[in-house]
Homo-oligomer: A and B are copies of this chain.
Amino acid sequence: MSLGRLLLTGAAGALGRQLRPRLRPRCSLLRVSDVAPMEAAQSGEEVVPAALEDRAAMLSLLEGIDAVVHLGGVSIEKAFDVVLQGNIVGVYNLYEAARKHGVKRIVFASSNHVTGYYRQDEVIDANAPVRPDGYYGVSKAFGENLSRFYFDRYGIETVCLRIGSSFPEPMDRRMLSTWLSYDDLERLVVASLTAPVAGHTIVYGMSDNKSTWWDNTPARHLGYRPQDSSEPFRAAKEAAQPRLDLNDPAAIYQGGSFVHKGPFED
């Protein structure tokens, strides 16, 4: 099933570089965008540099597009003003452009840091009240809420992916619970793009890890079934961190080290 004319933002980032070649063969056109340098366009691709905070550039960027995978913006905890431009102004620009061009579906890379202040011994689902662990988490919650509004008002569908930790492999014990393999990331994005009815759905982006803090039951309609697991990495990760300091909030809360970031100097 062709994904049609697809826009991938944040194409120069780690996940963007993974998804670009995986999505390309599924699209009639893959337009990729970022502010950082990107690889040259291959057949079936358009490479369009654009800053999320540049409203006019964003409006142009979405012209003729059927659907968007929005990875762009700030992806780690940073000073508020930085997060503000990329993840608040930028997301507004994206949705307004989508509205004006009649784009019907957006896959929005949200983050587990929207709920980073839940404990690691709690299992929550996407209906739990948000508890962001920093400006980044707050900004991702903003994007989830703005997209909810664009669905309720304008019918633009969004799947919000609260991505755990998407890396080649888990990097520490926390990621045994939060890891999302690149293959499962691809599965999740494709399921989100191809589900017949997406409405406004929030789903946690994780592989089939043995231990997990999130229950994706409310998003089963998407048809996402992870096939990878952090388990093969467990022994090595446990050996590297045999004991955690449970007086350290980073060891207790789901957000991990994000709960220590900041405050930032103005």
Contact = CB atoms under 8 A, between A and B. Distances in A.
Contacts of A157: 246
Contacts of A222: 211
A60 interface: no
Given A120-B197, A176-B223, 14 more contacts: A1-B238, A1-B239, A84-B89, A120-B199, A120-B221, A121-B198, A121-B199, A131-B149, A132-B148, A134-B153, A177-B221, A209-B223, A211-B221, A211-B222
Interface string A1-32: 11000000000000000000000000000000
Contacts of A210: 191, 223-225
Contact of A121 (B191, B197, B235): B197
A133 interface: yes
Contacts of A96: 80, 263, 266
Interface stretch (A38-46, A68-76, A139-147, A162-170): A139-147
A221 B123 contact: yes
In the assembly, how many copies of this chain are there?
6
A143 to B, nearest CB: 10
Contacts of A99: 263
Contacts of A78: none
Given A121-B197, A221-B211, A223-B210, A246 B155 contact: yes
A132 B225 CA distance: 29
Contacts of A215: 217, 220
A217 B218 CA distance: 13
Interface in A220-266: 220-225, 235, 238-239, 241-242, 244, 246, 251-252, 259, 263, 266
Contacts of A148: 117, 129-132
Interface residues of A, number: 77
A152 interface: yes
A187 to B, nearest CB: 10
Contacts of A244: 196-197
A131 B212 CA distance: 24
A121 B221 contact: yes
6 contacts: A80-B92, A84-B88, A120-B221, A123-B217, A123-B221, A217-B217
